A and B are shown apart, each in its own frame.
Chain A
Amino acid sequence: GAVVSQHPSRVICKSGTSVKIECRSLDFQATTMFWYRQFPKQSLMLMATSNEGSKATYEQGVEKDKFLINHASLTLSTLTVTSAHPEDSSFYICSARTQGAQPQHFGDGTRLSIL
């Protein structure tokens, strides 16, 4: 149980392109989803938190107009990196949790490379 699917696993695209990443909870209702970014040899850094049907809460320093998050249902959240540039290249990971004292479960991540 507690499977989180993230798609795509790898994206390579040109600078200026917008990229959409999907995160789905397959066997539970995710009342809250989280988006992280991980640079090589560094730990996960929280970008934003989203509750179903609400606007996302962004961490300090994360541009909400750059990283658009939509959590339209209890099983799906999307992160759109708008007008991506090479400095946006990174490993993006989503996680999801249900209500109560439950752990976050992570997707397999998306490696984004902007040329």
Chain B
Amino acid sequence: EDKVVQSPLSLVVHEGDTVTLNCSYEVTNFRSLLWYKQEKKAPTFLFMLTSSGIEKKSGRLSSILDKKELFSILNITATQTGDSAVYLCAVELNYGGSQGNLIFGKGTKLSVKP
């Protein structure tokens, strides 16, 4: 059975701290790994990773994929209260064609205190 496991499930930090969120996966037909940020509404796209070892950065956020260890991390440096959200990791499956179903982890709830 395809699965995506995120850890920790929740995390409380103070502003300015650096956090690392983890995502491991076991899937039969990997296509890509995606990170999303979900606040009160629907997820917003952060990163899409397809190759091992290539770090993607966007401001204070960065992410990297290890396809040998079936693992990805999302780093947030100098956290701010606005970073408080649920961070979702999803693996896109390669079904051929253009389908690309996503298997989501349960998410990591990050709370950043002032």
**Most chain A Cβ neighbours within 10 Å, of B42, B88, B92, B100:** B42
Q: How many residues from B make CB contacts under 8 Å with A?
A: 23
Nearest to A108 among chain B residues (CB) is B41
| Contacts of B90-107 to chain A: CB distance below 8 A | 92, 98-107
Nearest to B31 among chain A residues (CB) is A101
A77 contacts the other chain (CB 8 A) = no
Nearest to A109 among chain B residues (CB) is B42
Q: From A11-19, A44-52, A82-90, give the one contacting chain B.
A: A44-52
B36 contacts the other chain (CB 8 A) = yes
> Are A106 and B104 interface neighbours, CB within 8 A?
no
The one of A6, A42, A108 in contact with B106, judged by C-beta atoms closer than 8 angstroms, is A42
> Are A32 and B42 interface neighbours, CB within 8 A?
no
A76 contacts the other chain (CB 8 A) = no
A34 contacts the other chain (CB 8 A) = yes
A-B contact pairs, 28 of them (CB 8 A): A2-B45, A6-B42, A42-B106, A43-B88, A43-B105, A43-B107, A44-B104, A45-B104, A46-B101, A49-B99, A51-B98, A51-B99, A57-B99, A95-B102, A97-B98, A97-B100, A99-B98, A100-B98, A101-B32, A101-B50, A103-B32, A103-B34, A104-B45, A104-B102, A106-B36, A106-B45, A108-B41, A109-B41
Binding site for A on B (CB under 8 A): 31-32, 34, 36, 41-45, 48, 50, 88, 92, 98-107
Binding site for B on A (CB under 8 A): 2, 6, 31-32, 34, 42-46, 49, 51, 57, 93, 95, 97, 99-101, 103-109
